Amino acid sequence: MTEKSSEPVRAIAKACTLLDLLTEAKRPLSLGELTQSSGWAKSTVYGLLSSMRSCGLVEQEPDSGRYTLGVRLFEYGSAVSSTRNIIALSREPMERLVKATGESASLSMLDRGEALVLAFCTAQGKVLLSALSDAAVRRIFEAQFQQFTPHSVSSADALLKELETVRKTGFAIENGEFKIGVRGVAAPIKDHTGAIRYCVGLIGMFRRVDSDEFRAATAEVVKTAAALSEALGYREN
């Protein structure tokens, strides 16, 4: 690593040190106090604090000029806590789902649109996409669709039509669209605001999506998703 390329890494490490100092102090600290505690030049500390303040990592009291931890850190912490909570909450319900159906189950979440181009043909991908606006879906799929099988959705219009059905029924079906012979179903997990945060999916070698076996599996997936939504504070009106 060259000297120039290592500078951003050192800056991040120093920013973390300043956050540690503010956390340990449990009170607002002045520029002078942070400079003394860190042992760095005042200009260095001031530059770091200015950058951190611009993105909400620290805040500056208007009267005293002292620095405190910013609200953005609370948002990050809440997001991490929520992710950890859903993993813990879902363990038993997911185990029951697998035991009841004998198929493979998964828990998914949408992370800034990552990998959705490869997920539009899966039940989980459809559920997560159904939480987005039509315009957002079109932006994600500006490029042509990749056909994994002859059954894969091949256009944005066709996908949007299917997503509307997902919103109405409360679950999504995958019918050999990613791999021939493989079928699956997924349902949304909502938080206390009603927003879709995660989804639970089931996939297996079901013979047909209109079979009693698949309908029973669908009911189990929807029940599991409803239980996890309730655990996250969702209450249906």
pLDDT at position 4, please?
A: 52
46, 33 Cβ separation under 8 angstroms: no
Instruction: Give, as one character, the DSSP assignment of residue 132.
Output: S
Query: Each residue of 168-222: pLDDT tens digit?
Result: 999 999 998 888 888 999 999 998 888 888 899 999 889 899 999 999 999 999 9
Lookup result for tokens 């050999």: 176
The answer on pLDDT for 1 being more than 50 is no
Quote the tokens at residue 193: 């605001």
Predicted confidence band of residue 51 (pLDDT cuts 50, 70, 90): very high
Question: Which domains does the chain possess?
Answer: 3-69 (1.10.10.10), 84-231 (3.30.450.40)
pTM here is: 0.62
Residue 201 vs residues 34, 69, 168: alpha-carbon distances, Å: 49, 39, 18
pLDDT at position 116, please?
A: 34
Question: Which alpha helices (H) appear in the chain, and where do they start and end?
Answer: 3-25, 31-38, 42-54, 71-101, 123-129, 134-140, 156-169, 212-231
Over pLDDT 90: what percentage of the chain?
47
pLDDT at position 118, please?
A: 35
> For residue 60, how many other CB atoms are within 10 A of its CB?
15
Residue-averaged pLDDT of the chain: 85
Question: How far, in Å, CA of 17 to CA of 62, rounded?
Answer: 23
Quote the tokens at residue 232: 């996250």
The answer on pLDDT for 8 being more than 90 is no
